[in-house]
Structure 1
Amino acid sequence: MVKRLLWLASLWLIPTLLWAATQVQATVSQNPVQANDGFTLKVVADGNLPSDALDTSPLLKNFIVGNTSVGQNTQIINGDFSQNTTWRVTLIAPKPGNFTIPPLKVDSMMTAPIKLTVVKAGASTKVDSIMLETSMSDHQVYPGQQVSYDVKLLVGADLRQGQLSDPKMDDGDVKQLGKDQKGTETRQGMAFETYSRHYAIFAKKVGSYVIDPPVFNGEIDTQNSLGFYGTRSVGKVGQPQSLTVLPIPDTSKPWLPAREIKLEDRWSQDPKHWKVGQPITRTLVVTATGTEANELPTLQMAVPDGFKSYPDQKDRKNYLKDGWMMAQQTMAQALVPTKAGTYTLPEVDVTWFDTLKGQYEIATLPARTVTVAPAATDQQSKVQADNSTLPPAKANADYWPWLTALVVLLWLVTLVFWLRPKWRKKAPIPSERQPKEEAASPSWQQLRQAIKSNDPAKAGQALLHWAQDKYQLHSLEALAEFFAHPPLTDAIKDLQQQRFATSSHSWNGEPLWQALNTAKPPKAPPEGSGLYARFKL
């Protein structure tokens, strides 16, 4: 009860604390206006202000000031508190001409001046209540280069309904970027609601084109001279825009137009500690700004002698960033060294055309030198060979293993009798730990069948597919890191060893299945966001 009273008291005190205005705007109901005909000046300030906070005395120089009405509005939406005060002042211009509504003081702030045109009584004052504008970032481009095409619809009336079409271009793709954005704007002192839409245009062929502009059709509310309300159909066509598509400067070179290129690689494990037979996944990622994924070349990852490579995953994606189309390609490859030594992984390069500089560039990943150590089994066999040269132990020590085994056996019998009552309780079936919706998912069912078949190749592909579908992870090492569950980590390592082993061995999928059913995913998602998180290995 006390908390509720304090909360109500705080709401009562808030209006008294928000006296000072931080934003103020002045608009007129129409422009131009007729002489000796009334129009409305509207002034809106944020905050709860007294009615006399607006000083209208500067208006008396050129206008007749009529009635002034004041209203306050308070809103609390999702805990956000807002207030505003609105003045509506009726003005009459006594004679034709060009006038300026001067800045008006509201609390401690000033409104912007408004230029006003006053025409003779009876003259037309028709103003477009609907405007449709188009603009482009470039008018000369190359094939495959992105052109940003912007559309803005301005509505100065009460819009009942409307529909805006998309621009069109022959021999080109037009794609909308993001959702429509709504805002407000002042033109000639009049307030307009704005609806902005952004497009990306990709020309395919060389030549000169005219982009067909968008068309708006809708209905607005109207009021006649007698005060009756109705609706009126309105329509607008945007301005046509011309586009010239230039020929490719050098057809002997690969063609990839972009504003920027980023080439990087990621490793599932640190290659500084590499051993023979140990699979490590290397993922190449190329990201281009201002082009489409189908323009990206296929990445080539050369492998030196002494390595075996196994393609793991390929992907091409488009996504939006800061108003530009981003094209991204990834290629993952499992690398397995077959003998110890020092190796050099060759550099990776991508030739592209910088559309900002108008010249060819080369993005390069430098060559990398790695050292592969002998496998652990080789070291163990060497130790065993050295131990074989040692003299045998004395025969009188043979009874110690038997004595040790007897002590362990007696301890196990005691443990069995102590745990026997607890075993009578029904133990949970590991496979039942998964939620019903998980058990019903197709990728989970396919994963279960692949693991039960004891085929490491099928199990690896099914596990990778499930990791992508469930958690947007693109490597098995990333899945192990994501869960941080030691039994699952060990099972995945064993699976990878079997997948990329130089010789075939039998594999039992039961430990992997048990680990998957007992692992619990962390509450927080992987580090990063959007598409970048998918390549965090």
Structure 2
Amino acid sequence: MVIHFIRLIALSTLTSLLLIQSAFALTQVTATVDKNPVMEKESFILQVIADDDVDTNALDTSPLLKDFIVGRTSVSSQTSMVNFNTTRTTKWTTVLIARTAGTFTIPALTIESLSTSPISLEVLKTSNQKTSASQDIFITTDVSSKEVYVQEQLTLTVKLHFAAELKRGSLSEPTLDGASITQIGKDKESDTIINGKRYRVIERNYAINPQNSGEFIIKTPVFSGEIISQTNRRSNFLSFADTKPVSALGEDINLTVKPIPDNYQGFWLPSEILTLHQEWQPDNESFMVGEPITRTVILTAAGLSEEQLPKIEMSVPSGIKVYPDQAELHTGMNNSKLVSQKKQNFALVASKVGTYELPEIRIPWWNTVTNKMQYAVIPAKSITITPNEDMANDKQNNNATNSTAQTIPATVNENEPLETKTVIVKEASWLQWLFLALWLLTSFAWLISSFNKKKKNTKTIKAVTQNSYKDLINACDKNNGEKALQLIAPWVAELFSNVNITTLEDAKHFINRTEFNQAVMDLQQCFYGKAAKNWNGNTLKSLIVDINKQPQNTQNQPITLNP
């Protein structure tokens, strides 16, 4: 009897579960948009609702990618009961942006075995700023130039305008194939009124350096976020503000990147203006022997990053020694253009009297305004070195002191006549010979120790160098010019481990071989010019192998003068 009763209960429970499952089966899927028509580049919301609790990954939005930019999708599920009547729903909210104007169809979207009805959507053309101002949020972009040379820097300005109250949001980075993009400074905030409507504006600037020539498209940033939507519900301390997801997209920009001109010679420097300036401390035409002289050379360029500025070198005639200091780099904005500056101090010390001719300092660059090769020049300068009386007096005093120290006066007694005594220096005794022998043994031991230490350090340096060296040789074997350009400076930096080498100009300076410098220039011309795919690494490889075998001379390395 008890067993029969348990069976009845189990059967009743199973029947109830089957009835509940059939009651909550998926029967309908609908799709709606929050606005129609919409503006070009304006975001709108697509909502898909299923009348059951289904898998949150059941909606596939990939069919929308053909005509729209698909933003963030949020999913929510809800269960409610009214008079013992239970309903369940699953809602997907997706932010879409129309790419271009026209009439488009949001295709049917399928969830399990049911599909939504297609939606015809009209997208209006954004003809002017007045039309954009009717939107609550939009993006404007401006570029300093739409036609630049390879490695020439251009500035992209992105402004996000919003009239609604933002709760949260993020702005993506612009993209350009084969280019380095860096944000300049911090975001700027301001207010403006467009067509009688007040907007809050967030401005962001980017520096773009295209590395390849050709036709490109700058993909502008996309904004995604949430705004606080207006509601008619009565506010109280328990209510929460309703939010609405939004997105905004700026206009893409067509960009033409021109290659390095065939007639250009030297380190490639494309700029609107490039100047050289010098300062002297003290600012005289005549200096004394041994007097320290500070010569400051300042290189300023518009449209170039500080990493692109070349090494400033100064040659001096015999009789003058030069001590270069660490270069100072500065970058800033001037009239919405990036301006970079390199400041190099040189300490000069003359050891001989005479008139000296300091050679001119000449740096080639390409004027992007006139499309001509120009030179930034500091003219040659003559300086006169005069005798230093203080140094001459010091020398005479030293000679007098040495002469006095060799004379040994006799003891004088006032009651006795003046008498001269002669001091006789005896020949070296056996103790002096013993000290000499010990000194020779010590010097010999020090030489052996220094030789072993130098040999050990040489082995260590060669072991460390092998990594960059092997990668560089491998890049030459594969004719990978881009990889080779990246590895040349690290390889030379490991050859000269006691100095700071960060650029190709530093590497060429320390190798100091004409054929190597020419091979690197050919690689730059080939990689950044028209024949970027025709570079052959055999010539550079043979030079690298030869240089890596030979011990490097450090006499030509720069000397840092401590303050």
TM superposition score normalised by structure 2? 0.44
Q: Which is greater in Rg?
A: 2
Give me the TM-score of the superposition, normalised by structure 1.
0.46
